[in-house]
Amino acid sequence: MNSHFTISSIAQDLLNTSITSIALTIEKLSNHISLEVFLTDQHYQILALSSPSGVSEFTIMAIQQLSASASTPAFQCKIMTLESDKYGFATPITHGNELLGYLFFIQNGESYRLEEYESLLAYTASLFSIKLYQNRELRKEKMKFKEVFLFDILYGNFKQKEEILEYGHIWGWNFAVPNTVAVFSIADFNHISTDQHIINTLLYIAERTLLERNMKPISLKRQNHLVIIFPSEETEQKKHLAQIEDFSGTVLRLLSTQYPERSFSCGIGKTYRNPADLFRSYQEAKVALDLGEIMGIDISFFTDLGLERILYKHDLQDLKEFYTATLGGLQEYDNTNNVDLMNTLESLVTNQFDITATSKALFLHRNTLRYRMKKMEEILDMKLDDLNTKLNILAAFKVKMLRKL
């Protein structure tokens, strides 16, 4: 199969097809050269794929360039996907100075030389360049209106519900059902670096995950985060929240496989029946996101963060005083006696003051735990079974975590 293909034999065919459909052109190309061919956007997200041996989808994690052509922008590369590594040839697709995507030919095990394919790559790249540019302009135009609409919803610029319902129909979105806003973000976002690409991937993954669940994505990319408006098809609020949590979990899992060195989190606002109130859900989601990040929670619900929000906003000096008044004695005891009763108490709080659960978590005998609890009661001069004491201790630990005491 080590033969040369002359462009003239297939050029006309490809040109004709490229005017109508990208997918068809990829398929034709794949047939002509009997290789797997695929087209991606500039973020390596696959737009069209065709293979003589049948199509199986995959996600590209990274591209490693191996050698470059001397005469064209084409290069030989290693394509790392979630499933396996592939080898092949690629060319960037550009329009003017702008990168629009990449075209890939995959080797099927035998060894090929780049020179054999570079003129075909260059030619087809020019065909796709025109098509991708047209598509992108079209999409941009449409996106503009969509983004303005979503921005106005999320920033409370619609005061009337009817307006939202009407505009929503244009995009096929039903705002008559209750909705909840979820916000995804990356920790230590740096807008100067390539983090913008990660937000693009985030958008891609979130939308794909929604489509897999047969939901029409309502999404807006902001500078350092992604907003998803999640409609409730469940009459039961509990189930709706479970759905969101499951969705968010899936997105975060996919993200961390792709970017294991970065950390992502998600905040979820309250559910609102009136879409004119969705701006609140959006703000709540962002508050939940930030507090969640501080407390190390991946998916945090605004509704779960009542006490935390109050504590976080409170005057720091006052909080420090409260913390010292509540747990200062124990801290001091730990320091002077070189023990760690604080850890024991914290574990008790985490386990809802359940002795069995705590002793299990700490690998302690129940009696040892009981003894320590007695000791702590002496030091703090409080009764640990008193509800007021429990509340104070719980709050003090939250203060510690929130304000990094």
Site string for another protein, 103-142 (x = CB under 8 A): ----------------------------------------
Phi, psi of 192 (to 5 degrees): -80, -30
Residues 401, 145: Cα–Cα separation, whole Å: 42
- How far from 50 is each of 29, 131, 136, 168, 287, CA to CA, in Å? 8, 18, 22, 35, 44
Report, in Å, the least distance between residue 155 CB and another protein: 4
321 vs 353: CA distance, rounded Å: 24
303 lines the binding site for another protein (CB under 8 A): no
155 is an interface residue for another protein by CB under 8 A: yes
Position among 245, 290, 298, 304 found at the interface with another protein (CB under 8 A): 290
Q: Residue 29 is encoded by which pair of tokens?
A: 């190309």
CB of 2 vs another protein, minimal distance in Å: 50
- Closest approach, Cβ 264 to another protein, in A, equals 17
Report the residue from 103, 164, 291, 305 that binds another protein according to the rule CB under 8 A.
Answer: 291
Q: Which of residues 185-224 bind another protein (CB under 8 A)?
A: 191-192, 222-223
Among 230, 279, 323, 397, binds another protein (CB under 8 A): 279
Instruction: Please give the helix or strand (H or E) that residue 156 lies within, else none.
Output: none
* Least distance from another protein to the Cβ atom of residue 284, Å: 7
Check binding of 294 to another protein (CB under 8 A): yes
- Site size for another protein (CB under 8 A): 24
Question: Of the two residues 38 and 323, which places its CB atom closer to another protein in the complex?
Answer: 323
What span, in angstroms and rounded, lies between the C-alpha atoms of 9 and 112?
20
For 341-360, give one letter per residue: b (16+ CB within 10 A) or e: bbebbbbbbebebeeeebbe
DSSP string, 180-237: EEEEEEETT--TTTTHHHHHHHHHHHHHHHHHHTT----EEE-SSEEEEEEE---SSH
Stretch that binds another protein, among 8-16, 32-40, 285-293, 336-344 (CB under 8 A): 285-293
Interacting span for another protein (CB under 8 A) from 98-106, 149-157, 336-344, 351-359: 149-157
CB 93 within 8 A of CB 125: yes
Q: Applying CB under 8 A, which of residues 280, 360, 375, 400 lies at the interface with another protein? A: 280
Terminal-residue alpha carbon distance, the chain: 69
Binding mask 159-188 for another protein (x = CB under 8 A): x-----------------------------
**Among 19-27, 144-152, 164-172, 198-206, the segment contacting another protein (CB under 8 A):** 144-152
Compute and round to an integer the Cα radius of gyration of the chain: 28
Taking the complex as a whole, the smallest distance from the CB of residue 238 to another protein amounts, in Å, to: 24
Burial of 385 (0-12, 13-18, 19+ CB in 10 A): exposed
Q: Which helix (H) or strand (E) holds 339?
A: none
Q: Which of residues 222-251 bind another protein (CB under 8 A)?
A: 222-223
Phi and psi based region of residue 219 (left: phi greater than 0; alpha: psi -120 to 50; beta: remaining): beta
Residues binding another protein (CB under 8 A): 144, 147-148, 151, 155-157, 159, 191-192, 222-223, 276, 279-280, 283-284, 286-287, 290-291, 294, 312-313
